[in-house]
Every structure is written in structure tokens, then in C-alpha cells.
Amino acid sequence: MGQLTCPFCESPDIEDVAQWGGQIITRQARCRSCNTYFEVVREDFDDRAARPAVPPVGPPPRAA
């Protein structure tokens, strides 16, 4: 993964604000250059798309 930059001004001067964002897969960050707050996908969730999908589990079979 490349270096994180601000999505508004593209500055690499970013600081973490909070470990969690509005969703469980995001964290909050702030750009020190333009003082804009934004959310970033957490590193521990970045590689989930590369993992094989787990098939859904259905209800247990009914007894006859």
C-alpha cells in the first residue's frame, strides 16, 4: 500500500485522530495542511477483498 495522502489537498502530512470511524472498517484521520478530517479504511481490513468469500450459513435442517 502506498503512502496515505489527504483526499482533498493530496498532502502526505496526515495524523490519526481516532482508532474507529463511522464504520467498523474505518479510522479517523486529519490533514495537518488543510485541517480537514476524513475517514480511512483500517489496515487490518484492507486485505479482506483478496481473501476468498466465506459461504453464508443457512438455517439448520428441520427434523422430520
- DSSP assignment, residue 51? S
Q: What angle do CA 25, 27, 30 make, to 5 degrees?
A: 150
Residue 6 pLDDT more than 70?
yes
Residue 37 pLDDT more than 80?
yes
| d(C-alpha 40, C-alpha 18), whole Å | 11
Q: What angle do CA 25, 9, 26 make, to 5 degrees?
A: 5
Residue 50 pLDDT more than 60?
no
Question: Residues 50-60: what's their mean pLDDT?
Answer: 61
Tell me if 39 sits within 8 A of 6, measured CB to CB: no
Give the global pTM.
0.63
Higher pLDDT, 22 or 53: 22
Q: What angle do CA 56, 58, 61 make, to 5 degrees?
A: 155
